[in-house]
Amino acid sequence: MGAEQGSMIGSFLPLIILFAIFYFLIIRPQQKHQKAHKAMLDGLTKGDNIITTGGLIAVIVKTEEDFIKIKLNDDTIVKLDRAFVAKKVEAGEDA
């Protein structure tokens, strides 16, 4: 029985190694990116400059629980779902 068990582990070893490589190259970096994006969304405040996933550059007027109100120009204020904020643009950074 010992020899059979050793060959069974040996046959699964490449699969285990492949899963470990997949985890460290794809899953873990994606989780870190999602965590950083969530922290950025939670930290949005009035006056922050943002870029939406649609490519619009806007200024936050008011933050709400699920939505934010953004100003696109002097006259246009719209409500945007927080999930559609791509990134925050720091002052002085070109968008």
Rounded to two decimals, what is the model's pTM? 0.68
Question: Which CATH number is 66's domain given?
Answer: 2.30.30
Measured distance CA(63)–CA(7) in Å, rounded: 59
DSSP state of 90: P
**How does pLDDT run across 19-60, given as a tens digit for each residue?**
999 999 999 999 999 999 999 999 999 999 999 999 999 999
Helix (H, G, I), strand (E, B) or coil at 8: helix
The domain in which residue 82 lies consists of 46-95
Whether residues 50 and 95 share a domain: the answer is yes
**Coarse DSSP helix, strand, coil percentages of the chain, rounded to the nearest 5 percent:** 45, 25, 25
Do both 65 and 93 map to the same domain?
A: yes
Count the domains in the chain. Answer: 2
Q: What are phi and psi of 69, to 5 degrees?
A: -95, 130
Which structure tokens are listed for 76? 């246009």
pLDDT at 9: 78
pLDDT tens digit sequence for 51-72: 999 999 999 999 998 899 999 9
Separation of alpha carbons 69 and 90, rounded Å: 18
Same domain for 5 and 20: yes
